[in-house]
Chain A
Amino acid sequence: MTCHELGRLIDPYVDDELGPDEAARFAEHVEQCEACRRRLDEREALGRLIRAVPYHRAPEHLRQSVMTSRRGAGPRRAIVWAAAAMIVIGLGSAAGFRVWRLSQATSAIADTIVARHVDAFTTGLISVPSSDQHTVKPWFQGKLDFSPPVWDLGAAGFPLLGGRVDTVNGRKVAALVYQRRLHMISVMIWPLDNRTAANDARTIRGFHERHWVEDGMSIWAVSDVNDSDLTEFVRAFRSAHP
């Protein structure tokens, strides 16, 4: 392959869209070709820069209005939303109550997660110290009735330090510990039980927290790192799927 032909592979290479053979050939060429290596470095540096741009999260009031389908911002929209609201009411006003109950339960669990993260510093953060996901994941076997996702995110700047079994509201959960500079990030995982809102972000006593659902698992991340680092962490964790 010539440099010119390879030039067209550079984007699918950084985007992980090449087959293994092509990727290997490309990597081999880059080893030997100074110019292509420079272009690849540029591309990767650019990717990191773009991903550092703040992510626009949906404002809370928008989330609420979509969940309850009630708010109208203009006369035309008011009619549309009224229609949507009627459908929702038609389905049962229990939905509204469920949203409320869900948010109460989510707050309670969010509080507990922060408490467990803080307590862990005194009771022991890590039972299985390892940065290897292939060591940490099997360690949970026989200790939990589910198999949590475990990823080493060292390449993304969040090395895995290890894991432990923790207890949240009487349930045994998987706890993973990651590091960002001098900060620790705890990730707590258990099978989805539908007792919490599917997506949640909040700040409690200076700790940032995120909750999301993935492959039937309820996943919480909590840390005192700054909010954008935690956002980056969550993105790295969620895109770590092979």
Chain B
Amino acid sequence: MGQRSFEAVVVPHLDAAFNYARWLAGNDADAEDVVQDAAVRAFRFFSSLRGEDARAWLLTIVRHAWYARLSSQRARAVSTEYDEMADPRPDESLGPEALVMQRQTVERVRRAVDQLPVDFREVIVLRELEGLSYKEIAAVVGIPTGTVMSRLARARERLLAMLDPALATGDAS
């Protein structure tokens, strides 16, 4: 551990930390604050990081930082405004109609994920966007792996229902 610096171990996972915080918080400003808080905590607890995966370790800290902030400002109204997210770059190989379709689809999916309850949203983000295993998600969120599996299943059923009622199988449980 001695040779691994904070910079070398933690900074490579800042994108993951920010992406997770952004999905939890729903806007850039809060997400940045959460990651700043998390960095301070990570710095403080850095010596306690042993052999574990640094990314899962940092994401766990991000989650704690988010909940700590949430409970300290529960009185404050939750911001509902949508930050304009970076538009996905257009795919040059598509024609104008297909391009519009692609953009609309991505936007619909983003909104659907955003509308999931946070318990569902975070497992989807950790699994699909971060590629974490069930075991790693279980460690970050603090739930058994069986719960990770059932939350993912229910989150996906909800997304399918939201995105296209005709797609859903109706076998949600």
Contacts and interface: CB of A to CB of B under 8 A. Distances in A.
Interface of A: 7-8, 10-12, 15, 17, 35, 38-39, 42-43, 46-47, 49-59, 62-63, 65-67, 69, 73, 77, 80-81, 84, 87, 95, 99, 181-182, 194, 197-199, 212-213, 226-229, 235, 238-239
A52 B35 contact: no
B89 A11 contact: no
B33 A73 contact: yes
Interface in B119-139: 124, 127-129, 131, 133-134
B131 A235 contact: yes
Given A15-B127, A42-B169, A198-B11, A55 B19 contact: yes
A-B CB proximity, top 3 nearest: A226-B89, A58-B18, A56-B22
Contacts, number: 138
Contacts of B22: 56
A54 B91 contact: no
Contact of B36 (A10, A66, A67): A66
Contact of A65 (B15, B36, B91): B36
Given A46-B163, A235-B131, A63 B11 contact: yes
B109 A198 contact: no
Contacts of B159: 46, 50
Contacts of B160: 42, 46
A51 B125 CA distance: 9
Contact of A50 (B11, B17, B109): B109
9 contacts: A10-B153, A11-B149, A17-B133, A39-B169, A42-B160, A58-B14, A69-B39, A197-B11, A228-B89
A84 B12 contact: no
B23 interface: yes
Nearest to A198: B12
A58 B109 contact: no
Interface string B2-45: 00000110111011011100110000100111011101100100
A53 B109 contact: yes
Contacts of A11: 149, 152-153, 156
Contacts of A65: 36
Contact of B43 (A10, A84, A197): A84
A54 B11 contact: no
Contacts of B92: 226
A99 B8 CA distance: 11
A227 B89 contact: yes
B88 interface: yes
Contacts of A17: 133-134, 149
Given A66-B14, A69-B39, A198-B7, A54 B149 contact: no
Given A69-B39, A69-B43, A199-B14, A53 B106 contact: yes
Given A67-B11, A226-B90, A238-B131, 7 more contacts: A8-B153, A49-B163, A53-B88, A56-B18, A56-B31, A84-B43, A198-B8
